Amino acid sequence: MKLKRMSALLLCGTMLAGTLAGCSGSSSSAATSDATAATAESTSTDGAVTIKVFSNLTDRTSGQGLIEQTLFDSYMEENPNVTIEVEALDDESYKTKFKA
């Protein structure tokens, strides 16, 4: 029983440390939803950031794709140093790339 308690405390401590490390001040950000995965990389030394997102929502003019694109556009409007590049893939290509 004591081993279980120690394991649980160790796991909680590790999760807390990971959360705090993830919340530390960083110059890049990532947008995610259950339909997207994102990676961020700095493109220059003047603070400009490019976020590359791939999504399975290929139609960016209606439905969830439009909502997602609207969010990206408004974020880029509020943050002129950030550029979000969306690579929209059909379902099978998305699944293959997501696994890789």
Check pLDDT > 60 for residue 79.
yes
Report the range of poorest mean pLDDT among 21-25, 32-36, 69-73.
Answer: 32-36
Ranked by mean pLDDT, the top range of 11-15, 27-31, 77-81 is: 77-81
Check pLDDT > 50 for residue 88.
yes
Query: What's the confidence (pLDDT) of residue 57?
Result: 86
> Does the pTM of the predicted model rise above 0.75?
no
Report the range of poorest mean pLDDT among 6-15, 31-40, 60-69.
Answer: 31-40
Q: Are 31 and 72 in contact (CB under 8 A)?
A: yes
Buried b (16+ CB within 10 A) or exposed e, 24-45: eeeeeeebeeeebbbebeeeee
Measured CA to CA in angstroms, residue 4 lies from 8, 9, 10, 51, 72 at distances of 6, 9, 10, 41, 44
At 67, list the tokens: 């909502």
pLDDT grade for 94, boundaries at 50, 70 and 90 = confident
At 16, list the tokens: 């807390």
Mean pLDDT to the nearest integer, 61-66: 90
Complete domains list, the chain, with CATH:
29-99 (3.30.300)
Mean pLDDT to the nearest integer, 45-53: 85
